[in-house]
Amino acid sequence: LGVDAPVVARGLDGTGAIDPPPFEEPDTVGWFGSGTKPGAAGAALFVGHVDTETRPAVFYGLSAARPGAKVLVTRTDGSVAEFTVDDVQVFPREEFDATKVYGPREPGRAELRLITCGGTFDRATGAYTANVVVSAYLTG
């Protein structure tokens, strides 16, 4: 996907969504630190900004991911977990299904979700109208 970025542990924001890295760190990926570790059974959750007021951010090209693409995650022990993209979906904000997005698709399988903003930018609310979600599974 062409992304080579530092990953920092993040928690939940006031609405219960994964808190992305600060806007001042647009090239950083946030990992839900209280959740699944990459390569362990379950869905490891990564979030990143699509853009800033002046330029593209770390997950700008995420919507261009295609099934079969590889995602490599370097873990804290230095080992690399390889994931293969299964699908790319866009979820309108008003229809966001946390269980479907955050939950594993197959029990016991190691999965990965890469999540960013998508749809159109609504200047009135200052937010995007959807989320882009890339789902992948451990292959190496």
Question: pLDDT tens digits, residue range 25-64?
Answer: 999 999 999 999 999 999 999 999 999 989 999 999 999 9
Contacts of 14 (CB under 8 A, 6+ apart): none
Burial of 124 (0-12, 13-18, 19+ CB in 10 A): exposed
Please name the residue that has the structure tokens 């299904």: 97
User: Around Cβ 89, how many Cβ atoms within 10 Å?
Assistant: 15
Of the pLDDT bands very low, low, confident and very high (cuts 50, 70, 90), residue 15 is: confident
User: Around Cβ 29, how many Cβ atoms within 10 Å?
Assistant: 23
Q: Classify 113 as helix, strand or coil.
A: strand
pLDDT at 16: 84
Average pLDDT of the residues in 17-29: 94
pLDDT at 1: 73
User: Around Cβ 2, how many Cβ atoms within 10 Å?
Assistant: 7
**What CATH class does 7-138 carry?**
mainly beta
Q: How far is CA 32 from CA 45, 86, 122, 138, in A?
A: 6, 20, 26, 18
pLDDT at 108: 96
Structure-block tokens of residue 119 = 């749809």
